[in-house]
Structure 1
């Protein structure tokens, strides 16, 4: 039963994080001059407007069953660069809006977690309900920070690839374009094969210096 509850909390946190992430892309594009995503219903908190049947549902379930790292993706947000006020700059701003929204959502989860202690001490919540809420807020905190920093990895289709391209010139850009063609195999190697055969977990190391320190700082801040 505890395992089922944990999976349900994780699923809700992932879907919420993805919906906010994609809506942030759509909102940023709209504010910067491109209303395409908004006109197609992508600036919405309705999960059905963002869910990709395979990337948001089937893939994470298969990864959970496989016992490896779990990641998911939604339908791409349509953005027409020609509609943006400053295409080169605004493309980066639209891309970074997603990870930033997840960091802000993580901060909200941490703040709500911090509010549980006085509510519990005041008798406003039962211990069972407080425990369930605490589990969800911690799950949402870690899930959103993981989504944010995972998406900042500079490989397509992740946001980091869009963010890094404007800063590359000449040979560096040409080499990066060639690497992009092998993005998915690279992710599979880094996520699964490398840890399995060498014990080197690059994503785990990356999260150890990004996700977990920031999560601990947020919790320390709200708990005083």
Structure 2
């Protein structure tokens, strides 16, 4: 229930409406994504820079929406603190560690070509009752990546199959975005302590296993890098991702071309 009083910010569910509005930072990222996409579609200007802006801005928009999904489910489950911390404004600068949450994932995209889990919203678990709600809060982010993957692959297959136009560079950028979402979906669903996949099962562990989980949770990112760095485990991961990409009909040569395009400094 919201009540408007003169000189007082109207509230929704006990928080100011301003805490629920998209931030100018997020809207600027969306505008950059659309603008670069249009320029790449029409081959206006430097197409490599256009694809770079299209992919990086699109990836950052998806990071914002991933974290927003966590926050909005937590908010609906009873945690009002996510609104007061600014998580419902989709502003990436509000995350716990902007450097690790935004800069590192973008750097990994450019250098490694994979969608590293990013973003970090702090959820007050004590204000959310029930194990199922905790699992749904953790599931919300990866579910967003899965949805984006399916939408982008469908757009790619329809667009290239129907021959509706657009430059090859645009479709390469879109294919790379779809591949990044696919890798992010798989990585986020791995049962690694501290990451979304691990947090989904944490509420269902017995007290002894939960204590052990909480002990390793702060080192989730290190464990993930160790997993990807190991030749055998990393090989299994990428074999699985490539198999899923082929199953979805995502052309390997196209997203590889997209990765080559965003590395404009190599031209």
- Please indicate, yes or no, whether the TM-score normalized by the shorter chain is above 0.5: yes
Say whether residues 1:164 and 2:164 are aligned partners: no
Residue correspondence of structure 1 range 105-120 to structure 2 within 5 A? 105-117=148-160, 120=163
List per-residue Cα deviations over 1:170-220 (Å, max 9, x = no partner). 55444444444654443333233x33xxxx3x23412432x3333333337
List per-residue Cα deviations over 1:131-180 (Å, max 9, x = no partner). 13311221121111211221222334311221121232255444444444
List per-residue Cα deviations over 1:19-45 (Å, max 9, x = no partner). 111011112112223232234332244
Tell me which residue corresponds to 2:137. 94
Q: Offset at 1:113?
A: 0.9
Unaligned 5+ runs, structure 1: none
Q: Offset at 1:66?
A: 6.4
Tell me which residue corresponds to 1:78. 122
Counterpart among 244, 251, 261 of residue 214 in structure 1: 244
Q: Offset at 1:130?
A: 3.3
* Closer/same/farther in 2, CA of residues 64 and 90 from structure 1, 3 Å limit: closer
Bigger mean CA deviation after superposition, 22-31 or 39-48: 39-48
Count of aligned positions: 205
Bigger mean CA deviation after superposition, 141-150 or 155-164: 155-164
Bigger mean CA deviation after superposition, 180-189 or 102-111: 180-189
Taking only aligned residues, the RMSD between alpha carbons, in angstroms, comes to 3.2
Say whether residues 1:153 and 2:193 are aligned partners: no
Q: Is the 8 A contact 1:88 1:166 kept in 2?
A: yes
Say whether residues 1:137 and 2:174 are aligned partners: yes
Bigger mean CA deviation after superposition, 91-100 or 65-74: 65-74
The 1-side partners of 2:112 and 2:67 are apart by: 26
Runs of 4 or more above 6 Å deviation: none
Q: TM-score, with normalisation over the residues of structure 1?
A: 0.73
Say whether residues 1:205 and 2:236 are aligned partners: yes
The 1-side partners of 2:66 and 2:85 are apart by: 16
The 1-side partners of 2:84 and 2:216 are apart by: 34
Tell me which residue corresponds to 1:14. 59
Unaligned 5+ runs, structure 2: 1-45, 251-267
* Closer/same/farther in 2, CA of residues 207 and 167 from structure 1, 3 Å limit: farther
